[in-house]
Amino acid sequence: MPRRIDHVAIIVRNLEQALIFYRDTLGLEPRAIQDVPSEQVRIAFLPMGGPQGSEIELIEPTTPDSSLSRFLEKRGEGMHHLCLEVDDIDAALQEMNEREVAVLDTQPRLAAEGRAIFLHPKATHGVLLELIEKRPQATRRVER
Ligand SMILES: C[C@H](C(=O)O)C(=O)SCCNC(=O)CCNC(=O)[C@H](O)C(C)(C)COP(=O)(O)OP(=O)(O)OC[C@H]1O[C@@H](n2cnc3c(N)ncnc32)[C@H](O)[C@@H]1OP(=O)(O)O
Ligand SMILES: [Co+2]
């Protein structure tokens, strides 16, 4: 079902601070920096080349009372989730439910660039897993 890694998400205290390393030291130019109010985060997408290339997603919690700020308090900065792209998120949700996989969503939620569901880490051997069906215009054309 998933056909590619869409992004690897790293949670950071401060996006600008993290970009000093990822942009200025590693040379990864952010494609987009945007607020996602529904998730109470601000994110930066760092393309890793090519229209089908995966990205690093830096995530900064923007409120003190979200699951992300709790994560940051409890576990500090680091890997937060892995996002895999699927062609049909409704079919994926139905399949997860049929297989009684612990899904955190009853319906796909609006993610930054499409519709997504999250699978609980206890179902995935310890990794918070996001499955996303990308909006067409979100499919990147990164000229190299
Ligand atoms: C917008 C952007 C985008 O790309 O579009 C995004 O995706 S932003 C993505 C932001 N949205 C989300 O993350 C939504 C999905 N996340 C959630 O619903 C929640 O974070 C959650 C249910 C995974 C955990 O919720 P919680 O606050 O209750 O956390 P707890 O601390 O009680 O965690 C319960 C158990 O899960 C583990 N746990 C929690 N978070 C993670 C994680 N990110 N990766 C791996 N394990 C994790 C904890 O260690 C704990 O394990 P143990 O019991 O063994 O100690
Ligand atoms: Co994500």
Provide the residue range defining the domain that includes 32.
8-80
Q: Are residues 46 and 91 in the same domain?
A: no
What was the ipTM of the complex prediction?
A: 0.94
| pLDDT on residue 138 | 61
Q: Is 67 in the pocket of ligand 1 (CB under 6 A)?
A: yes
Domain assignment present for 98: yes
Q: Is 70 in the pocket of ligand 1 (CB under 6 A)?
A: yes
Task: Convert the pLDDT of each residue in 48-70 to its tens digit.
Answer: 877 789 999 999 999 999 999 99
Q: Are residues 19 and 73 in the same domain?
A: yes
Question: Per the structure block, which two tokens stand in for 76?
Answer: 């500090």
Burial 95-129 (b: 16+ CB within 10 A, else e): ebeeeebebebeebbebbbbbbbbbeeebeeeebb
Please report where in the chains the tokens 């080349």 appear, as a residue.
Answer: 49
Tell me which of 11, 54, 72, 81 to substitute to probe ligand 1's pocket, judged by most ligand atoms within 8 Å of the beta carbon.
81
| pLDDT on residue 51 | 75
Residue 103 is part of a domain; what is its CATH number? 3.10.180.10
| pLDDT on residue 52 | 81
Question: Per the structure block, which two tokens stand in for 1?
Answer: 């079902």
Task: Convert the pLDDT of each residue in 81-100 to its tens digit.
Answer: 999 999 999 999 999 999 99
Q: What share of the chain is helix, strand, coil (3-state, %, to 5)?
A: 25, 35, 35
Query: Under DSSP, is residue 144 helix (H, G, I), strand (E, B) or coil?
Result: coil
Alpha-carbon distance values, 88 to 31, 42, 85, 117, 124 (Å)? 25, 26, 9, 11, 20
| pLDDT on residue 101 | 98
Task: Convert the pLDDT of each residue in 97-137 to its tens digit.
Answer: 999 999 999 999 999 899 999 999 999 999 999 999 999 87
Decide which of 36, 53, 80 is a domain's last residue: 80
Nearest alpha carbon, ligand 1 atom 31: 71
